[in-house]
Structure 1
Amino acid sequence: MSSSASAAQELPGGRERRGAMTMAELLELPPMVNVTTAARALSIGKDTAYKLIKSGEFPVQVIPLGSTSKVATASLWELLGVRR
């Protein structure tokens, strides 16, 4: 594995790596992501993301699934100007 391993890798204990998401990481996202991943893509904290979702002000499409929420990657890409 090269020293430029993907920043999207999970850290020990199930923790996610923090920091800005690279274009390569954005392009590798699955069709729907969790709120933490969407927040990272938007360079905001997950607490802020959840507050925005609760207030109806989150800037991209949120899909409620029972007690959790997912975010449509296509909406993230559109907001961020990502073209495939």
Structure 2
Amino acid sequence: MTHGELMALPVSFSLEVANRALDLGRTTGFALAKRGAYPVRVLRLGRQYRVTRYDLLRYLGLDPNGCAGEGEGVPEAA
């Protein structure tokens, strides 16, 4: 998944989308979620597994607020 695709994700999304972002196969991702060993927090809503954009971006080391981090994308003063 590209940076733009990650930043455009909705607030919460299916485990299948998270699997794609983390480069996990469907079977592996669902097995990890069922065991409670998924790399990010997984919400169980009825029969669905959901992941939040905030948790995924934090795990990937991206700013969940969409702001540039320290020294990133900020021009230096002359």
1:67 is aligned to 47
1:41 is aligned to 21
* Alignment-mate amino acid for residue 22 of structure 1: T
TM-score normalised by structure 2 residue count = 0.78
Matches within 5 A, 1:5-24: 21-24=1-4
Unaligned runs of 5+ in 1: 1-20
Cα RMSD for the two superposed structures: 0.7
Paired with 2:23 and 2:38, the residues of 1 have a C-alpha distance of 13
* Alignment-mate amino acid for residue 62 of structure 1: V
Unaligned runs of 5+ in 2: 67-78
Larger radius of gyration: 2
State the percentage of identical aligned residues.
38
CA shift digits 1:27-65 (9 cap, x unpaired): 000010101000001011121110101111001111111
Paired with 2:13 and 2:45, the residues of 1 have a C-alpha distance of 12
Secondary structure (helix, strand or coil) at the match of 2:23 reads coil
1:52 is aligned to 32
1:82 equivalent in alignment to 2:62: yes
